[in-house]
Structure 1
Amino acid sequence: MGIDRVKIEELNEENWYECCQLQLSEKQAEYIETNAVSIAQSKFESSLKPFAIYYKDKVVGFLMYNTVKEELNGYWVFRIMIDKNFQGKGIGKAATKLMLSEMSKLPEAKKIVVGYHSENKEAHHLYASLGFIDNGDRFGKEMAVIKYLNN
């Protein structure tokens, strides 16, 4: 599965509803807000950028990041999810690489941070494989890992 079959596109009137229809496994749903909640949040927090994840021209996932630095003086990934029927194909990793490329263009981007529940093994594996480092930062039930950029 090549990265060329995966693309991210800013959320718009043509893809937002498809993003709302995507589903996680029951266990994963414990760890992440629904896409509908994330989309609503992006309408009230203008610094959030939501995207649909496409695989072969079909919406199969959703991601969102902040364009303003927050805790740990980094830009935060707010959401990334792949529909349960498309997981395990490398789509999430390919989409995350595309997102990291976009985020690296933000002003003074030196760190990208993502928080996730410590029991979410899939998230841990994904972020570790992409070079995120656990420095022991914790926010409530979430651990925060950091990717240092070489800009």
Structure 2
Amino acid sequence: MKTVTLVEVNKENWYDCCQLAVSPEQEPYIESNAISIAQSKFEPTLKAYAIYEEQTIVGFVMYNMVQEELESHWVYRIMIDHKFQGKGIGTAATKLMIAQMEQLPNCKKIVVGYHPLNKGAHKLYASLGFVDNGDRFGQEMAVIKYIN
């Protein structure tokens, strides 16, 4: 696999992030990157990153730098453009994001919420050590990764 990196969303890459799209069957499960980037401008504790494979923007992640529900740091978005899915990029990018989040003050748990029918998300998070303790928020299930 080529090198995967996270680069903070900035004036050079924000528009390209907004052009990324998931597959049509995934659309009901995730907000657009444009909405996520706008949200990050109004909630300053949110950190938004473009996912690059080499020099190409292939995805987007966003997380909160402060604790929220379940006394945890929350992942807000992880998406890989439909043209780049199935190559391990999402796993690599999520590992990079988790490594950053582990450096946050008092980061003991990382939580991500997703729709129970989103099988790809379920497989990804389970493979990275997230566990389902039965926490639910509206339509979403919340899985937790415990940090040592």
Matching residue within 75, 95, 113 for 1:97: 95
2:133 pairs with one of 118, 135, 147? 135
Separation of aligned partners in 1, 2:86 and 2:19? 19
Q: Give the match for residue 9 of structure 2.
A: 11
For 1:103 and 1:42, the matched residues in 2 are separated by: 16
1:51 aligns to 2:49 (yes or no)? yes
Unmatched runs of 5 consecutive residues or more in structure 2? none
State the aligned residue count: 148
> Does 1:63 pair with 2:61?
yes
Q: Please state how far the C-alpha of 1:23 moved relative to its aligned partner.
A: 0.6
- Which 4+ residue blocks in structure 1 deviate beyond 2 angstroms? none
Residues 54-98 of structure 1: CA distance to partner in whole angstroms, max 9, x if unpaired? 001100000000011000000000000000000000000000000
Q: Residue 68 of structure 1: SS of its match in structure 2?
A: strand
CA distance in 2, matches of 1:7, 1:52: 8
TM-score by length of 1: 0.97
Secondary structure of the structure 1 residue equivalent to 2:29: coil
* Partners of 1:40 and 1:109 in 2: CA distance: 25
After TM superposition, give the deviation of residue 121 of structure 1 in Å.
0.2
1:108 is displaced (CA, Å) by: 0.7
Report sequence identity in percent: 67
TM-score normalized by structure 2?
0.99
Partner of 1:122: 120
Deviations 1:122-147 (A, max 9, x none): 00000000000000000010000000
Deviations 1:21-65 (CA, angstroms, capped at 9, x unpaired): 001101111000000000000000001000000001100000000
- What one-letter code is carried by the residue in structure 2 that aligns with 1:98? L
Give the alignment's Cα RMSD to 1 decimal: 0.6
Amino acid at match of 1:129: S
Q: How far apart are the structure 2 equivalents of 1:148 and 1:57?
A: 32
| Structure 1: unaligned runs, 5 residues or longer | none
